[in-house]
A = this chain, B = another copy of it.
Amino acid sequence: MNKLLVFQTDFGLDDGAISAMEGVAYSVDIGLNIRHLTHNIPQYNIFDASYRLYQAINYWPEETTFVSVVDPGVGSDRKSVVAKTRTNQYIVTPDNGTLTHIARFVGIEEVREIEERNNRLKNSELSYTFHGRDVYAYTGARLASETISFEEVGPEISTDQIVELELYGCHKVDGGIKGQIDILDVRFGSLWTSIPYEDFKACGFEFGEDIHVEIYHNDVLVYSNTVNYGKSFADVAISEPLIYMNSAYHMAVAINQGSFSKVYGIGVGPEWKIVMKKA
């Protein structure tokens, strides 16, 4: 193991929760290198947790251990698991859908259920609401530091058994392609769609082409316009929209130096669909 331990949660950075998790991990092994993916996953949003893991994980070295805790079901009978990816990285997480994008786009080789009897911070038995500290940070630290082996996490369960959220993907439509608005490039307000670059490209679109974009909210058309397909924001004037391939290799829509999401009131999730077709 490479001693890199990466935390992600929906706990925010305003209190002592993340620090308690860090302290637990350093108490296991002071030589760990703890990093933070993001702690600003919107509360309870398992889809976003899954997506952000996918957005970052491929850039990290083999043997990196990720701990992702977006856990609205803490205290229920949802399982706690560690997944080993096909790229030899580990993810410690409640089994609630957080592994969806990793399973689909990276591949999971093996999953083990965390046996809490052996893998829980000592004297934390009375604590029922902070598995992030008592179980996940603790187990992630013990795995990343080779205090325990992957096998010692607990019994193997089938990779088919893990909880996966439904992904919309993309679908061919007359003259183009349809996807879902999955998530925002939060800071800049760009719309990141579920349409992979390869599928978009297969429609025959070329750089510089004007493309007709329609956005639907619950099947109601809320945006319909012609948008240029560029390589990057600088290909259009400031305040103009563009279609581009985002850094996660899916198609996106932005306004150069503006927020497409705010200007047009566009949201994310299953209610929000987008069509790109020949103008």
Whose C-beta in chain B lies nearest to the C-beta of A188? B43
- From B10, B58, B128, B257, give the contact of A232 (CB < 8 A): B128
Query: In the complex, which residues 230-265 of chain A have their Cβ closer than 8 Å to any Cβ of chain B?
Result: 230-235, 244-247, 249, 257
A276 to chain B, nearest CB (A): 17
Q: Is the interface of A mostly helix, strand, loop or mixed?
A: loop
B-chain residues with CB within 8 Å of residue A51 when the two chains form the complex: 16
Chain A positions 1 through 39: 1 when the CB is less than 8 Å from some CB of chain B, otherwise 0? 011101000111111111111111011001001111111
B-chain residues with CB within 8 Å of residue A130 when the two chains form the complex: 247
- Cβ of A169 within 8 Å of any chain B Cβ, yes or no, is no
Contact B61 A27 (CB under 8 A): yes
- Cβ of A155 within 8 Å of any chain B Cβ, yes or no, is no
With known contacts A186-B12, A187-B15, A231–B40 Cβ distance under 8 A: no
Contact A37 B59 (CB under 8 A): no
B-chain residues with CB within 8 Å of residue A59 when the two chains form the complex: 19-24, 27, 133
With known contacts A129-B233, A129-B246, A235-B75, A15–B61 Cβ distance under 8 A: no
Give the interface residue-count category, chain A: 35 or more
Contact A19 B40 (CB under 8 A): no
Query: In the complex, which residues 40-84 of chain A have their Cβ closer than 8 Å to any Cβ of chain B?
Result: 40, 43-44, 51-61, 64, 72-76
- From B23, B35, B38, give the contact of A14 (CB < 8 A): B38
Contact B38 A19 (CB under 8 A): yes
A183 to chain B, nearest CB (A): 8
| 4 A-B pairs with least C-beta separation | A75-B232, A23-B59, A16-B55, A76-B234
Extra A-B contacts (18), CB below 8 Å, given A22-B60, A73-B234: A13-B13, A15-B183, A15-B187, A16-B52, A17-B55, A19-B35, A19-B38, A19-B56, A20-B56, A26-B64, A43-B257, A74-B233, A126-B249, A127-B245, A128-B231, A129-B231, A129-B244, A130-B247
Cross-chain pairs A/B with CB under 8 angstroms, 19 sampled: A15-B38, A15-B55, A15-B183, A15-B186, A16-B38, A16-B52, A17-B247, A19-B36, A20-B247, A21-B59, A23-B61, A30-B33, A43-B257, A44-B257, A59-B133, A75-B233, A76-B234, A127-B247, A128-B244
- Residue numbers of A with Cβ under 8 A of B are 2-4, 6, 10-24, 26-27, 30, 33-40, 43-44, 51-61, 64, 72-76, 126-130, 133, 183, 185-188, 197, 230-235, 244-247, 249, 257
